[in-house]
Amino acid sequence: MTEQPQNLPDRPDIARIFGEVLQELRRARGLSQEEFGFECELHRTYISLLERGKRIPSLTTIIQLATALKVPPSEIVRRVESRLGWPIEKSHTEMRH
């Protein structure tokens, strides 16, 4: 077993980066927060809180958002982990410093 790079990011970072990714995906679909909230059956205020990194979504919420965005939920998480600099196993020999 290899040594584990235990660089777990802070919660505020996770929330902030998730919010950035969510906002980008929403804008890419040309939706306002209100229209998007309607699509995913979530309140516009909650969308705004998520985008500003003030709330952390549950897996259910991620799936709800992804359905409205028409992207796989794993793609949203992949974008978040990529920005967090997740140490993906298959590339741990070429990890950035």
Our finding on whether 24 is near a copy of itself (CB under 8 A) is: no
Q: Which of 18, 26, 33, 51 binds a copy of itself (CB under 8 A)?
A: 18
Tokens for 55? 């709330």
**Residue 49 binds to a copy of itself (criterion: CB under 8 A):** no
Phi then psi dihedrals of residue 73, to 5 deg: -55, -35
H or E segment and range at residue 69: helix 59-69
Structure-derived torsion over alpha carbons of residues 72, 74, 77, 79, reported in degrees to the nearest 10: -70
> Which 63-82 residues touch a copy of itself, going by CB under 8 A?
63-64, 67, 70-75, 77-78, 80-81
**Cβ of residue 45: shortest distance to a copy of itself, in angstroms?**
19
Residue 70: CB minimum distance to a copy of itself, A: 6
Amino acid at 68: A
